[in-house]
Structure 1
Amino acid sequence: MKYKISASILNANFLRLGQEISEIKDYIDEIHLDIMDGHYVDNISFGPDIISLIRKEFSDITLDTHLMICNPDKYWHTFIEAGADILVFHKEATQKAYHILEKIKKSGKLAGISLNPATDINQIEPLVDVIDRVLIMTVEPGFGGQSFIKPMLKKIEKARKILGDNIDIEVDGGINNNTVKDAQKAGANTFVVGSHIFKSSDKIAEIEKLREILEH
C-alpha cells in the first residue's frame, strides 16, 4: 500500500503561499485544501478562487480538496471546475451523499467522504462502490493545531476492515511524528499534515522525518 502525505495549507503563510508550496511540493504527495464556510464549522478559510490560482501555478500537483461546508450538493462542481483532483465532503452535511459521489466520479475526479469523530464508521458501508477515499477526522473539524483523538484509532481499524485495501483511508488532525505511526498501524495510508509542517523552521526536514517513520 502506498503511503501519502497531504500537506494542509491551512496553517501556511498566505502572504507567501506560492513560495510555501514551492518549498515542499517535491517532497509531498498532495496539497490539502480545507474549505470552510463558517456554517458547517465555526471557521472561514478560502474558496474556489484560491484553488484556481494554485492550480494555474502548480499544474502538476494533486489537489486534495476537503469541503467542510453546508449543502455540498450545490457547490461540488464549482470546486471541480476550480481544479480539484480529489473532492471530499462530509457525510453529516447532506442526505445526498451517494448522488454527489456518483457525480464527482462521473466528472473524472476522485470522490471521498469525510466523517466527524462522533459519526459511526458503519455509515460508509453503503457508499463503498462510489468512493475512492474516506477521510476520518481525528480532531473536531474547523481549526488546525488540535491534538489527535486517540480513540479514533479503533475507527480507522474498522474502516480498513470495511473498505479493504483498494480505498484510501485519510486521517486529518494532530498528525505529527508522535501520532503518524499509530494511525498507519491502524490502517491509514494518507496523512494530512498541517501545522507540523508549516509551523516548522525546517519544513523539508519534518516531511523527511515523517517519511522515515512511515517506511520503518
Structure 2
Amino acid sequence: MALSNGSCCKIGPSILNADLSNLAAECQRLVDAGSDYMHLDVMDGHFVPNLTFGHPVVKCLRPKLPEVFFEMHMMVAAPERWIESMADAGADMYTFHYEATEDPVGCIRKIKEAGMKAGMGINPPTDVEVVLPYIDQLDCVLIMTVNPGFGGQKFIAECVPKIEFLRNKFRNLDIGVDGGVGPKTIQECADAGANLIVSGSALVGHENPQECIATMRAIVDSALQKIHLER
C-alpha cells in the first residue's frame, strides 16, 4: 500500500477484536473484503495495561500475507527497543506514541533507517500541537479517539477537532483516526479530514465487512474531495 498524501481514503482494520487464534485467516478475510492495510496493535502491559503480541507473530504472518501492508501500532513504553525487530519481521510502518518516548526525533530516525515508514500517535488528553515539530519527518499522524489499550471503547468526539486542526494546516498529510470508528462515527472523522481509517470491532465484527468498508470509503472520499476543492 502506498500512502495517499492525504488525498484518498485508506481503511485498516484493527484486528484486536478478531479471532486471534486464526489471525492470518482473519486478516485475509478483511483484505478480501476490501481493506487497504492491516493495523496491528502491539501492547506491552506497561504503556497500556493490556498485552497482545509482538514481532514473532508478525514474522509468522508475513509469509502468509506477503503483499499486505502492515502498520504496527506500538502502544509500548520505550518504542525504540522494538524497531529493528519489527523491521526484520516484515513490518511496513511503525507508529509509536508521542507520550511513550523521551526522544521522538531519534525514534523517527531509527524507524526510517530500518526501512519503515514512521507514524506518531497521540492520546486523547494530549494537545495536538505537540506533533508540529515532527510533521516534516513523519509519514502519518494517528489521532486516538479512545484511550489506548482496549478494543470496543466509545468514540470520544472531543478529539475530532485535532484532525481538523491538522488538515487545515497540512493539506497533504496522511491523518489517521483510531478508536470507536465505524459507520456511525465515520462522518465526523471524514468531515474533519481524516483519511487513514482504523476500524476495530465495528468492522471486524460486522456481518458484511465488504459493505462496511465500501460505506466508510465512500463517505471519506466524498468529504476529502470537498475539503481539497475548498482549500
TM-score band by shorter chain is: over 0.9
Q: Could you tell me which of 190, 196, 203 is aligned with 2:202?
A: 196
1:84 and 2:86 equivalent?
no
Shift of 1:202: 2.3
Distance, in Å, in 2 between the alignment partners of 1:137 and 1:34 is 13
Distance, in Å, in 1 between the alignment partners of 2:68 and 2:87 is 15
1:108 and 2:115 equivalent?
yes
Q: Could you tell me which of 173, 176, 201 is aligned with 2:182?
A: 176
Q: Which blocks of at least 5 consecutive residues in structure 1 are unaligned?
A: none
Query: Helix, strand or coil for the counterpart of 2:202?
Result: helix
2:193 counterpart letter in structure 1: G
1:51 and 2:33 equivalent?
no
Q: Could you tell me which of 194, 199, 218 is aligned with 1:212?
A: 218
1:165 counterpart letter in structure 2: R
Deviations 1:156-183 (A, max 9, x none): 1112234x12221100001011111210
Query: Helix, strand or coil for the counterpart of 1:165?
Result: coil
Deviations 1:77-118 (A, max 9, x none): 211111110100000011111111012123322101110001
More deviation in 106-115 or 130-139? 106-115
Distance, in Å, in 2 between the alignment partners of 1:61 and 1:170 is 18
Query: Helix, strand or coil for the counterpart of 1:50?
Result: helix
Distance, in Å, in 2 between the alignment partners of 1:176 and 1:153 is 14
Equivalent residue, structure 2, for 1:142: 149
Return the TM-score normalized by structure 1.
0.95
Within 5 A, what are the aligned runs for 1:52-67? 52-67=59-74
Q: Is the 1:105–1:130 Cα contact (8 Å) retained in structure 2?
A: no
Query: Helix, strand or coil for the counterpart of 2:219?
Result: helix
1:155 and 2:162 equivalent?
yes
Distance, in Å, in 2 between the alignment partners of 1:65 and 1:187 is 22
Equivalent residue, structure 2, for 1:25: 31
Q: Is the 2:87–2:115 Cα contact (8 Å) retained in structure 1?
A: no
Q: Could you tell me which of 107, 111, 124 is aligned with 2:131?
A: 124
Distance, in Å, in 1 between the alignment partners of 2:144 and 2:164 is 14
1:201 counterpart letter in structure 2: E
1:187 counterpart letter in structure 2: G
Distance, in Å, in 2 between the alignment partners of 1:16 and 1:100 is 32
Distance, in Å, in 2 between the alignment partners of 1:183 and 1:96 is 29
Equivalent residue, structure 1, for 2:228: none
Distance, in Å, in 1 between the alignment partners of 2:14 and 2:208 is 16
Distance, in Å, in 1 between the alignment partners of 2:102 and 2:172 is 25
1:94 and 2:101 equivalent?
yes
1:173 counterpart letter in structure 2: G
Query: Helix, strand or coil for the counterpart of 1:151?
Result: helix
Equivalent residue, structure 1, for 2:11: 5
Deviations 1:101-153 (A, max 9, x none): 01212332210111000111111111112101101100000011111111111
Return the TM-score normalized by structure 2.
0.89
Shift of 1:207: 1.8
- Provide the identity percentage: 39
Q: Which blocks of at least 5 consecutive residues in structure 2 are unaligned?
A: 1-6, 223-231
